[in-house]
Amino acid sequence: MTEDKGILIRNIYYMLAYAFQELRQNNYAEIEGETFDEIYDLFAEILARGISFQLKQGLYREYVARNESMQTVRGKIDINGTIANRMRNSQQIVCNYDELSEDNIFNQILVTTASVLLKHSDVKKEKKAQLKKLILFFRNVHPIDVHAIRWNSLRFDRNNRNYRMLLYICYFIISEWLMTTDEGKFKLREFSDNHMCRLFEKFVLEYYKKHHPETNASAAQIGWNIVEEATDTSVLPIMQTDVLLSLGERTLIIDTKYYSKVMQEQYDKKTLRSNHLYQISTYVNEYDSEALHNVDGMVLYAKTKQDDLEDAQVVKKAGYTLFFRTLDLNTDFEAIKKRLDSFIQSAENNKMTMPEQGLPKFFRFYKGEKDNPFDGKDQNKAALWDCERSWNFDNMTNAGRQILTEYIGELASVGLAQFEKYDDIPVSYKALLFVRFAKTDYSLTDAVEPFKKLYAEYYK
């Protein structure tokens, strides 16, 4: 077979290659031209090449604590152990010392994982023979109990960073072990959705980082748009995005999903999964804390054999769009790349004007008109119409947002950073209004009290 859960094995290699750049270097590149019928056969090949490369570079060594009986003193004497030897009529001294050794957790995991693959029926004989030859070079390294591995405690530095990708593969393999009999035998199950979900997420992020650096792709956390002083923040979950892309005037938040079934079904009707819809909506609303309406969201599913989701989108009256898309991993990789590229284009094209989106609720005067309806009629309202219109379009460009940020600094300089903070009007608009008002007839300091009166008259 050449696919696993509907995914071409070669595409799993490509996804790993994006997630771990090491696979595009050293002696891994040749794997791309090979054919693999099973995913564990692919893992065996990656592990064999990685171990071979590491042997050429030299196995990582670190200091390991030893406690041994010996004829001469080495390190520190273990008094209790030495006394116990004397009671057994042994003249040897028990010593505690540190030894620079290959028998450390990193190499132990490699040996243990290689042993696991040697027992797996999906790994071809030639791959097993290759692994057996390589294991001979680990004669000073002992296998480790898989339950004793503390994956979160592994630390990488410049001396062992080449192990990072290999140990990630080892984690994939070892964590698939299940106790299956009373005798304690193990077997490998099918490659799990949980692991593919993590790989899918990391692949999409690294793809955009590599091919679209202008988007500043990241997996950023989103802060809650709350009044912290009045909120018990300890009960709020962390909002961790999978992918966040900056697309000029807009931002796109992508949440990746890997499920055997994309749609939910109730009363014979298939719909989008409610929790996924609520989750991406929350991400967008919380990220767009100033109600600029320039943030969109996307739920990206790995397409499955049972999938019947067509491209869908939900356009909200607030002015943002939620996209629901699938990515077929059981197709040519060039098609996968084109599909990922198209998502950026879809979001960039979502540049509706504010009148089409629906203007911010706090606008009192600007309603999307081309010309100022208050010119020659009401000087104050004409000025406020112009302020609202300027704020509207400044928020649609990076340069405009930078100017607004500077205005916020000026507002704060006169002690108005917290001015009417609970009235749902963005501080950036208050800052623009204040600076323009101050430039008419006042200095910044002298403008504070008259500004408050103007604000109270028109925005309360």
Please state the three-class secondary structure of 55-122 as a single string: HHHCCCCEEEEEEEEECCCCCEECHHHHHHHHHCCCCCEEEEEEEEECCCHHHHHHHHHHHHHHCCCC
Is 360 in contact with 319 (CB distance < 8 Å)? no
What is the per-residue pLDDT for 442? Answer: 74
* 57, burial (CB in 10 Å: exposed 0-12, middle 13-18, buried 19+): exposed
pLDDT of the residue at 254? 95
Residues 155 and 12 occupy one common structural domain = yes
**Domain check: are 113 and 260 in the same one?**
no
Q: What is the C-alpha to C-alpha distance for residues 298 and 277, in angstroms, rounded to an integer?
A: 9
Work out whether strand 264-266 and strand 269-271 pair parallel, antiparallel, or are unpaired: antiparallel
| 108 lies in some domain | yes
List the structure tokens of 341: 């590229």
Is 93 among the domain residues? no
In angstroms, the CA 199 to CA 18 distance is 10
Confirm whether 83 is domain-assigned.
no
How many domains is the chain built from? 3
Domain boundary among 126, 157, 191: 191
Asked, for residue 362, whether it belongs to a domain, the answer is no
Tokens representing 63 are 């200091």
Residue 82 lies in a domain: no
Residue 314 has a pLDDT of 87
231 alpha carbon, distance to own chain's centre: 27
Do 251 and 327 share a domain, yes or no? yes
Domain co-membership, 165 together with 273: no
pLDDT at 95: 94
Domain endpoint, select from 357, 389, 405:
357
Residue 373, in any domain of the structure: no
Q: Which of 357, 387, 421 is the last residue of a domain?
A: 357
Same domain flag for 155 and 56:
yes
Answer yes or no: are the C-beta atoms of 280 and 297 closer than 8 Å.
Answer: yes
Residues 385 and 340 in one domain: no
Same domain for 133 and 277: no
* 294 and 225 in a common domain: yes
**DSSP readout, 157-189?**
-TTTTTHHHHHHHHHHHHTTEEE-STT--EEE-
The reported pLDDT for the residue numbered 341 is 92
Which residue ranges of the chain lie beneath pLDDT 70? 1-10, 20-37, 176-195, 304-308, 348-358, 395-398
Query: Are residues 210 and 140 located together in one domain of the fold?
Result: no
pTM greater than 0.75 (yes/no): no
Verify that 440 and 314 share a domain, yes or no.
no
d(CA 448, CA 442): 9
Residue 360, pLDDT score: 81
Domain that holds residue 209: 195-357
Helix, coil or strand: residue 4? strand
Q: What is the amino acid identity at position 329?
A: L
Please state the φ and ψ torsions of residue 65, each to the nearest 5 degrees: -70, 130
Measured CA to CA, the distance from residue 130 to residue 49 in angstroms comes to 9
Q: Are both 260 and 168 inside the same structural domain?
A: no
What is 257-277 written as a DSSP string? E--S--SEEETTEEE--HHHH
Whether residues 19 and 145 share a domain: the answer is yes
In a domain, 273, yes or no: yes
Q: Does residue 231 fall inside a structural domain?
A: yes
Angstrom distance (rounded) from CA 286 to CA 220: 13
Of 185, 55, 182, nearest to 116 by C-alpha is: 185
**CATH assignment of the domain containing 250:** 3.40.1350.10
